[in-house]
Amino acid sequence: MLPRCADTTILTDTETATLTPDGPVQLALMETEESAEEFRCELQAAHPDRHAGYVQDGDDEMVWWVRWGPGGPRELVTVPNDDHCQGELPEDELVCTLLEHWGGHCFELEGGQ
Ligand SMILES: [Zn+2]
Ligand SMILES: [Zn+2]
């Protein structure tokens, strides 16, 4: 397995409300964290550019991610399903769920999905 980036970020109440205008939905909460709004970067350790945390599925067409780190403010972004990594392990039917990325696929990272 490849090491996973350990950086985390916490969404504000305002950001969470942006995601859930009609009430609470299931967020991709970190299983080992007590904070309900903390998200861990999903990329391989030492990756270039910004951190990227999976937040939740949107509708059938897109997924919410949070980006943060060098190069700009933390921001919630929607990523069309078509822009996600197409990496897969056919023999195990594993498909990478990360947005377009550098480094290992999610199924190659420690603690990945
Ligand atoms: Zn990161
Ligand atoms: Zn991938």
pLDDT tens for residues 1-16? 999 999 999 887 777 7
Question: pLDDT: is 6 or 29 the higher one?
Answer: 6
For ligand 1, the distance from its centroid to the CA atom of residue 59, given in whole angstroms, is 25
Instruction: Count CB neighbours of 53 within 10 A.
Output: 23
The pTM score is 0.80
For ligand 2, the distance from its centroid to the CA atom of residue 49, given in whole angstroms, is 16
Average confidence (pLDDT) over 61-86: 88
Cβ 67 vs Cβ 52: under 8 Å? yes
Average confidence (pLDDT) over 31-42: 67
For ligand 2, the distance from its centroid to the CA atom of residue 44, given in whole angstroms, is 10
Three-state SS string over the chain comes to CECECCCEEECCHHHHHHHCCCCCCCCCCCCCCCCCCEEECCCECCCCCCEEEEEEECCCCEEEEEEECCCCCCEEEEEEHHHECCCEECCCCEECCCECCCCCCHHHECCCC
How many angstroms separate the first and last alpha carbons of the chain?
A: 12
Split at pLDDT 50, 70, 90, the class of 29 is very low
Asked whether the predicted pLDDT for residue 101 surpasses 50, the reply is yes
Tokens standing for residue 18: 């942006």
Asked whether the predicted pLDDT for residue 41 surpasses 80, the reply is yes
